[in-house]
């Protein structure tokens, strides 16, 4: 990142001054996003590589935004930066094929268990269904977390794009839809979403604040995503 940012902050040629200045001004945002995501995806990608991809996401956000960045640009750019990094993680498909296959089987088994129970299984029920102890199940949840984050970021990213590019009336309706989706969550789910997206805490930090395991935070995040998608689909 040091080399990339050094380049971004060099004296640019005529016509690119404003763009380079925005990249410099919002470089701390890229670092915050990378700090947050790096704790979620473990060693799946080198931190400096994540920062370079994030900077490209920031540049893409600036060029798509149109006009001079205003008070809304930071939130929009943050989603673009996060999305760029998560897209690259998925593109690289960093998990071994056997691990991906096992993950698919585990998800199918958990969906079937949820169907039979008529609710989401607790950790003991889920781990028993997968033939593993609770500790191993928690590790499984953490390994699946990158996909969950990517899905949630897509949801938030789509809303942000509509708010930036749509009419005033459309922006109002989009915000109302997102507010309704958030209201569908229980208090703890709302708190997890707030801590992650508003305060930009990592899973480990959220777990400490709520006095939960990281795996449990993953479960809450996944349940929140499912509820919000259902509400937005009907909006």
Please check whether residues 48 and 164 belong to one and the same domain.
no
Q: At what angle do helices 27-41 and 47-65 cross, to 10 degrees?
A: 130
CB proximity list for 81: less than 8 A, separation 6 or greater: 29, 30, 33, 54, 55, 57, 58, 61
One domain, residues 143 and 223: yes
The more confidently predicted of residues 91 and 58 is 58
> Cβ(209)–Cβ(195) under 8 Å?
yes
Alpha helices in 66-167 (DSSP H): 73-92, 97-117, 123-129, 134-165
Q: Do 108 and 158 have their domain in common?
A: yes
- pLDDT at 128 exceeding the cut of 80: yes
Residue 14 pLDDT: 43
Does residue 174 register a pLDDT over 60? Answer: no
Same domain, 35 and 145: no
Confidence of residue 147 (pLDDT cuts 50, 70, 90): low
pLDDT band, residue 107 (cuts 50/70/90):
confident
Burial class (CB in 10 A: 0-12, 13-18, 19+), 131: exposed
Residue 210, pLDDT above cutoff 80: yes
**Burial of residue 139, with CB atoms counted within 10 A of its CB: 0-12 exposed, 13-18 middle, 19 or more buried:** middle
Residues 78 and 114 in one domain: no
Taking 50 as the threshold, does the pLDDT of residue 172 lie above it? no
- Same-domain pairing of 142 and 159: yes
Residues 6+ apart with CB under 8 A from 229: 155
CA dist 16 and 64 (Å) reads: 16
181 and 223 belong to one structural domain: yes
Question: Looking at the structure, do residues 109 and 173 belong to the same domain, yes or no?
Answer: yes
Residues 148 and 213 grouped into a single domain:
yes
Whole-number pLDDT of residue 96: 59
Domain end among 56, 76, 94: 94
Both 148 and 37 in one domain: the answer is no
- Where a domain ends, among 94, 123, 153? 94
pLDDT score, position 143? 67
Q: Which two tokens stand for residue 101?
A: 């296959």
Which residue, 94, 125, 148, sits at the end of a domain?
A: 94
Whole-prediction pTM: 0.55
Provide the CATH number for the domain around residue 99. 1.20.140.160
Give residue-wise pLDDT tens across range 77-88: 888 898 888 888
> Which residues, at least 6 apart from 126, have a Cβ–Cβ distance to it below 8 Å?
110, 113, 137
CATH number at residue 73: 1.10.1740.10
Q: What is the mean pLDDT of the chain?
A: 76
Range from 53-57, 108-112, 215-219 carrying the lowest mean pLDDT: 215-219
Structural domain for 90, as ranges: 1-94
Assess whether pLDDT exceeds 90 at residue 120.
no
Provide the percentage of residues in the chain whose pLDDT is more than 90.
16
- Do the beta carbons of residue 152 and residue 229 sit within 8 Å? no
Domain shared by 65 and 134, yes or no = no
List the one residue out of 38, 3, 25 whose CA is nearest residue 145: 38
Q: What is the rounded distance in angstroms from the CA atom of residue 37 to the CA atom of residue 46?
A: 11
Examine the domain organization and report whether 5 and 17 are in the same domain. Answer: yes
- The number of distinct structural domains making up the chain is 2
pLDDT band at 204 (very low <50, low <70, confident <90, very high): confident
The H-or-E segment that residue 217 falls in is: helix 214-234
pLDDT in the model for residue 56: 93
């Amino acid at each position: 990142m040091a080399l990339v940012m050094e380049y971004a902050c060099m004296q640019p040629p005529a016509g690119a001054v404003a763009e380079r200045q925005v990249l410099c001004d919002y470089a701390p945002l890229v670092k915050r996003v990378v700090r947050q995501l790096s704790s979620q995806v473990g060693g799946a990608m080198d931190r400096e590589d994540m920062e370079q991809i994030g900077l490209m996401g920031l540049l893409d956000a600036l060029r798509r935004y149109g006009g001079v960045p205003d008070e809304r640009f930071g939130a929009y750019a943050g989603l673009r930066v996060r999305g760029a990094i998560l897209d690259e993680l998925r593109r690289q498909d960093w998990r071994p094929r056997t691990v991906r296959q096992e993950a698919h089987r585990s998800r199918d088994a958990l969906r079937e268990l949820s169907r039979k129970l008529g609710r989401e299984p607790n950790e003991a029920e889920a781990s028993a269904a997968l033939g593993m102890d609770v500790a191993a199940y928690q590790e499984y949840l953490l390994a699946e977390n990158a996909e969950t984050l990517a899905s949630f970021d897509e949801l938030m990213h789509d809303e942000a794009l509509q708010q930036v590019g749509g009419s005033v009336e459309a922006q109002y309706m989009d915000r109302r839809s997102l507010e309704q989706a958030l209201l569908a969550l229980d208090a703890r789910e709302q708190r997890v979403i707030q801590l992650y997206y508003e305060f930009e805490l990592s899973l480990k930090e959220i777990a400490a604040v709520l006095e939960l395991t990281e795996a449990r935070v993953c479960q809450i995040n996944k349940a929140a995503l499912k509820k919000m998608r259902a509400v937005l689909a009907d909006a």
